[in-house]
C-alpha cells in the first residue's frame, strides 16, 4: 500500500536552511527564529509566539508564566501524552486527572468543573488528535472560577473552533514540533498568546531570565535556555507553508474513510464538534465495540496492521497509571471512559491520511476487512 512516509521535506527546507547557514546566525537569536515565531503566531491568530526546544518545556513555560507553582492544582485530562501532566509536576504543582468524553476523547467539562478546589489554578485541555476540546464550556468555566486556561495544542496546528484557531482560545496555546507532528523539525515547540505580559514572562523563562530588549548579562527570573536553533526555525517555516495543503488532503481523506465506513457495526470514529470548522487531523481515532463487532480492539489492530496499515492500539494506561504517578504526586478522579478507551480505542497516524485517493479506498477496504473478517 502506497502510504507516504513522514516527515516530508523538499527544496523549500533546503533553501531556508541555506539562508541560515549563510547568515552565520545559527542559534536561537537568529533572524529566522523571529521570522518563524511571527509567522506561526499570525497563523494561530495570536500576537505573540515564543518558540522553545519542545512542546513539553512550552507547557512548563506556560504554567510558570501563569503563576502556577508549588501547592497548586492543575486539571488535565486522564488521556494524553505524559507531557501534559509531567509539565504540571515539573513546576511543583499537582496534576488532577479527570475523565474524557466517550467519543471526542477530550476532557469532560462537567468532570473538570467537579474537580475544582480552592487550590486549582489552571485547566489544561488537550485538543486530542486535533479535535478541539469543548471550549464553549471550558472558556466560561475558567473565567467564572478565575483559572488560567492553557491549551495543550500539541496535536492541533491549524484546527479551528468557530473560526478561531487552536492556541488563541485560552490564555495561551502550546504546540509541539516533535517528529510525528503535522509540522516538524524533529523536535521543537511554541507558545502562542494574545497576552503581552504573559508573553514577556514566557519569553524570559525560555531565554535565561532575560528581559526582551534588556542586556545580555541581566537576568531577572529563574529561566533556562530553552531556545530552538535558527536551523530548526528554517525547517519549521517550510513545514508551515506546506501545512494548509496537507491538512486539506487529510480532511478529504478522513471524510472519505469516515463516509465509506459509516454504519460498520461496532466501529465508531472520533466525534468532531459542530463548532470545529477546520481540523488538521493529527490522528484518525476510533473505538471498537467488541460485542457489536464480534472482535476485540486487539484483534482488529492485528488484522489491520497485517495488511500494512499503520495503527496504534491507544495508550496502555490513563496518565495516572504510569509508574511515575502510581505512588502519588497526583489526584485522579474516577475515569471510567478513559479506562474503557485503553481497551477499545485505536488511532491511525496522519501519514495514513496523506495517501492518494486510490490508496485511501484501499485503506478503507483494509479497515472494513479488519472489522468483519473472522
Ligand atoms: C498532547 C501532547 N502534549 C505535549 C506533547 C509534548 O511535545 P514534545 O514531544 O514536543 O515535548 C506531546 C507530544 O507528543 C503531546 O502529544
User: pLDDT tens-digit profile of 346-372?
Assistant: 999 999 999 999 999 999 999 999 999
As given in the structure block, the three cell numbers for residue 270 are 472520533
Ligand 1 atom having least distance to the Cα of 80: 1
pLDDT value at 195 more than 70: yes
Whole-number Å distance, alpha carbon 346 to ligand 1 midpoint, is 18
What's the pLDDT tens digit per position in 287-309? 999 999 999 999 999 999 999 99
pLDDT score at 1: 87
- Mean pLDDT calculated for residue range 327-353: 98
Q: What is the pLDDT of residues 248-265, one digit of tens each?
A: 999 999 999 999 999 999
CA of 372 to the centre of ligand 1 (A): 34
Beta bridge partners of 308: none
Question: Mean pLDDT, to the nearest integer, of 192-214?
Answer: 97
Ligand 1 atom having least distance to the Cα of 57: 11
Q: Whose grid coordinates read 531556545? A: 227
Catalytic residue flag (residue 181): yes
Q: Which helix (H) or strand (E) element contains residue 114? A: helix 109-114
Q: Which residues line ligand 1 (CB under 6 A)?
A: 54-56, 80-81, 83-84, 126, 152, 154-155, 176, 178, 189
pLDDT in tens, 2-51: 999 999 999 999 999 999 999 999 999 999 999 999 999 999 999 999 99
Residue identifier of the C-alpha nearest atom 8 of ligand 1: 55
Q: What is the pLDDT, as a whole number, of residue 373?
A: 75
Q: Given this model, what pLDDT does residue 101 score?
A: 98
**Grid cell listed for 35:** 521570522
C-alpha cell at 46: 495570536
Q: Distance between CA atoms of 220 and 89, rounded to whole angstroms?
A: 23
Is residue 190 within 8 A of residue 51, CB to CB? The reply is: yes
Q: What average pLDDT score do residues 73-80 get?
A: 98
Candidates 52, 55, 86, 128: which one to mutate for ligand 1, based on the most atoms within 8 Å of Cβ? Answer: 55
Helices (H), 115-220: 135-145, 196-206
Kind of pairing between the strands at 267-269 and 48-52: unpaired
So what's the pLDDT on residue 118?
A: 98
Question: Residue 43: what pLDDT?
Answer: 98
What would the mean pLDDT of 200-211 be, rounded to a whole number?
Answer: 98
Do 188 and 238 touch, CB atoms closer than 8 A? no
Mean per-residue pLDDT of the chain: 97
| pLDDT single digits (tens) 130-158 | 999 999 999 999 999 999 999 999 999 99
| Residue 332 clears pLDDT 60, i.e. is over it | yes
The answer to whether 328 and 296 are in contact (CB under 8 A) is no
Kind plus residue range of the DSSP H or E element containing 299: helix 297-306
Q: In what order do the strands lie in the sheet with 160-161?
A: 164-165, 160-161, 276-278
181, 211, 274, 369: the catalytic one is 181
How far does the centroid of ligand 1 lie from the alpha carbon of residue 362, in Å? 31
* Atom 7, ligand 1: residue with shortest CA distance: 55
Q: Percentage of the chain with pLDDT > 70?
A: 100
The per-type count for the chain, helices as H runs and strands as E runs, is: 13, 14
Mean of pLDDT values over 72-79: 98
Q: What is the pLDDT of residue 124?
A: 98
Cα 80 to middle of ligand 1, angstroms: 9
Cα of 54 from ligand 1 centre, angstroms:
8
Strand, coil or helix: 126: strand
Grid coordinates in use for 255?
471524510
CA distances from residue 351 to 287, 310, 322, 331 in whole angstroms, order as listed: 20, 9, 28, 36
Q: Residue 56: which pLDDT band, with cuts at 50, 70 and 90?
A: very high
| 93-113 pLDDT tens trace | 999 999 999 999 999 999 999
Extract the C-alpha cell encoding 12. Answer: 523549500
Beta bridge partners of 152: 126, 174
Pairing of strands 283-288, 345-349: antiparallel
Q: 293 CA distance to ligand 1 centroid (A)?
A: 32
Q: Whose CA is nearest to atom 16 of ligand 1?
A: 81
Name the residue with the closest Cα to ligand 1, atom 14: 81
Inform me whether the pLDDT recorded for 374 exceeds 80.
Answer: no
Q: What is the mean pLDDT of residues 110-134?
A: 98
Question: Ligand 1, from 154, 186, 187: best to mutate by most atoms within 8 Å of Cβ?
Answer: 154
Pocket test of ligand 1: the residue of 178, 180, 181, 186 to mutate, having most ligand atoms within 8 Å of its CB, is: 178
Amino acid at each position: 500500500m502506497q502510504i507516504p512516509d513522514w516527515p516530508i521535506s523538499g527544496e523549500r527546507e533546503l533553501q531556508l536552511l541555506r539562508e541560515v547557514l549563510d547568515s552565520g546566525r545559527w542559534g536561537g537569536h537568529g533572524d529566522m527564529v523571529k521570522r518563524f515565531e511571527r509567522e506561526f503566531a499570525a497563523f494561530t491568530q495570536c500576537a505573540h509566539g515564543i518558540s522553545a526546544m519542545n512542546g513539553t518545556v512550552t507547557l512548563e513555560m506556560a504554567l510558570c508564566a501563569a503563576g502556577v507553582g508549588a501547592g497548586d492544582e492543575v486539571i488535565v485530562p486522564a488521556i494524553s501524552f505524559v507531557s501534559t501532566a509531567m509539565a504540571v509536576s515539573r513546576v511543583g504543582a499537582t496534576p488532577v486527572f479527570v475523565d474524557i468524553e466517550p467519543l471526542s476523547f477530550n476532557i469532560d467539562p462537567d468532570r473538570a468543573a467537579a474537580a475544582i478546589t480552592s487550590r486549582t489554578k489552571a485547566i489544561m485541555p488537550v485538543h486530542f488528535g486535533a479535535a478541539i476540546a469543548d471550549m464553549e464550556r471550558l472558556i466560561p468555566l475558567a473565567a467564572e472560577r478565575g483559572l488560567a486556561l492553557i491549551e495543550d495544542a500539541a496535536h492541533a496546528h491549524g484546527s479551528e473552533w468557530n473560526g478561531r484557531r487552536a492556541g488563541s482560545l485560552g490564555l495561551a496555546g502550546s504546540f509541539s514540533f516533535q517528529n510525528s507532528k503535522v509540522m516538524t523539525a524533529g523536535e521543537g515547540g511554541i507558545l502562542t498568546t494574545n497576552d503581552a505580559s504573559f508573553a514577556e514572562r514566557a519569553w524570559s523563562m525560555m531565554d535565561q531570565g532575560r528581559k526582551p530588549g534588556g542586556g545580555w548579562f541581566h537576568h531577572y527570573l529563574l529561566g533556562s535556555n530553552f531556545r530552538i536553533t535558527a536551523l530548526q526555525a528554517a525547517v519549521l517555516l517550510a513545514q508551515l507553508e506546506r501545512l494548509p495543503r496537507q491538512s486539506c488532503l487529510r480532511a478529504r481523506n478522513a471524510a472519505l474513510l469516515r463516509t465509506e465506513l459509516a454504519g460498520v457495526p461496532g466501529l465508531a470514529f472520533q466525534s468532531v464538534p459542530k463548532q470545529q470548522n477546520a481540523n488538521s487531523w493529527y490522528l484518525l481515532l476510533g473505538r471498537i465495540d467488541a460485542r457489536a463487532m464480534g472482535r476485540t480492539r486487539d484483534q482488529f489492530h492485528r488484522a489491520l496492521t497485517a495488511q500494512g496499515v499503520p495503527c496504534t492500539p491507544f495508550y496502555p494506561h490513563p496518565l495516572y497509571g504510569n509508574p511515575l504517578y502510581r505512588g502519588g504526586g497526583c489526584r485522579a478522579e474516577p475515569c471510567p471512559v478513559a479506562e474503557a478507551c485503553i481497551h477499545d480505542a485505536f488511532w491511525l497516524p496522519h501519514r495514513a491520511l496523506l495517501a492518494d485517493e486510490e490508496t485511501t479506498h484501499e485503506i478503507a477496504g483494509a479497515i472494513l476487512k479488519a472489522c468483519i473478517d473472522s
